[in-house]
Amino acid sequence: MPHVSNKKLKKDHLAHLYRRLVFSLEKTGKKSATIKFLNEFLTQTEKIMLAKRFSVIYLLSRGLPVSYIAEALRMSPATIYRMSLKSEAGKYSFLNRAMKELDESIWDALEKILRAGLPPKAGRGRWKFLYSRK
């Protein structure tokens, strides 16, 4: 988890900085410029954190169980459950609407990536993880 300083900013200063960030992101315009902006701006840890959070919101909107999401994304079930409660309360309604407008191939690719990391539910090899040495 990224470190946040204990020295708090005033709410109006924080709001101003956030507006500037959003404005800078809007100014990038093109997809390639946005990617460059985010690559320069975010650390690898922040990229992973945001990608996982985005994936959790999407998978929750598809009705997948918390345990499946936690295993697929290698996150704690408590974190997924907390996000699930926020989703049920309507916190991610704008994101859910935006996700529905995205190309389905993006979501198909995401599901393939997630399924590739999961052990088979039936058949040969489903218990291999019990015998693996660390």
Query: Which two tokens mark 122?
Result: 């039936």
SS3 of 48-113: the string is HHHHHHHHHHHHHHCCCCHHHHHHHHCCCHHHHHHHHHHHHCCCCHHHHHHHHHCCHHHHHHHHHH
pLDDT of residue 125: 64
Q: Where are the domains of the chain?
A: 9-41, 43-115
Q: Which two tokens stand for residue 119?
A: 């052990």
pLDDT the model gives residue 81:
94
| pTM, two decimal places | 0.67
Token pair listed for 55: 């994936």
* Contact call for residues 60 and 54 (beta carbons, < 8 A): no
pLDDT given for residue 54 in this prediction: 87
Per residue in 54-105, pLDDT tens? Answer: 889 988 888 888 988 888 888 999 999 999 999 999 898 888 888 777 766 6
Of 119, 1, 103, 115, nearest in space to 59 by CA: 115
> Is 107 or 54 the better-scoring residue by pLDDT?
54
DSSP state of 127: T
